[in-house]
Amino acid sequence: MKKIFIASDHAGYNLKSSVVSKFSKLQKIIDLGPNSNNSVDYPDYAKKLSKRVASNKGSFGILICGSGMGMAISANKTKNIRAALCYSIKNTKLSRLHNNANIITLGERLINKSKAINLIKIFLRTKFEGGRHLRRVRKI
């Protein structure tokens, strides 16, 4: 079973708690914080999670903030990380099929809990197509 790491900032804390509750029944999910909705800096949590995903081959990450954008920008600074801001079924599937994304980022202020859970399920079960996409991903 692949490791799944999750983290948020204060603006994503409530959605993170819901995701942990939902997915911990299905598989092991490693919560890297924070442990409350007190104000924190999202780059700290993006970096912490990104390093864990990068050092655990085949693992996935879930990052949640208000928009998902700050987490995506921060996470993508780490070598071998391909973080994708996901907001629809199509862009979530394509992030895995074509880009081999290993971190999904979500915006608690932009999508509801059931949509977020659905997007995470799609992200985790969609396989990278490889082929012509592999050549391109290697150039990143």
Q: What is the mean pLDDT of each run of 10 residues along the chain (140 residues)?
A: 92 98 87 97 98 96 98 98 98 98 98 97 96 90
The predicted pLDDT at position 27 comes to 83
- Spatial separation of the C-alpha atoms in residues 108 and 111, rounded to whole Å: 6
The predicted pLDDT at position 1 comes to 66
Using an 8 Å Cβ cutoff, are 11 and 46 in contact? Answer: no
Q: Inter-axis angle of helices 89-97 and 113-125, to 10 degrees?
A: 20
Backbone angles phi, psi at 115, to 5 degrees: -65, -45
Backbone angles phi, psi at 80, to 5 degrees: 70, 15
- Spatial separation of the C-alpha atoms in residues 101 and 127, rounded to whole Å: 10
The predicted pLDDT at position 28 comes to 86
- Spatial separation of the C-alpha atoms in residues 88 and 41, rounded to whole Å: 26
- Domain residue extents for the chain: 4-138
Q: Enumerate the active-site residues.
A: 98
- Spatial separation of the C-alpha atoms in residues 101 and 61, rounded to whole Å: 9
The predicted pLDDT at position 111 comes to 97
**Alpha-carbon separation of residue 105 from 12, 65, 131, 132, 135 (angstroms):** 10, 8, 25, 25, 24
**Alpha-carbon separation of residue 52 from 14, 78, 96, 110, 128 (angstroms):** 22, 10, 19, 26, 20
Is pTM, for the whole model, over 0.95? yes
Query: Which CATH superfamily is 4-138 part of?
Result: Sugar-phosphate isomerase, RpiB/LacA/LacB (3.40.1400.10)
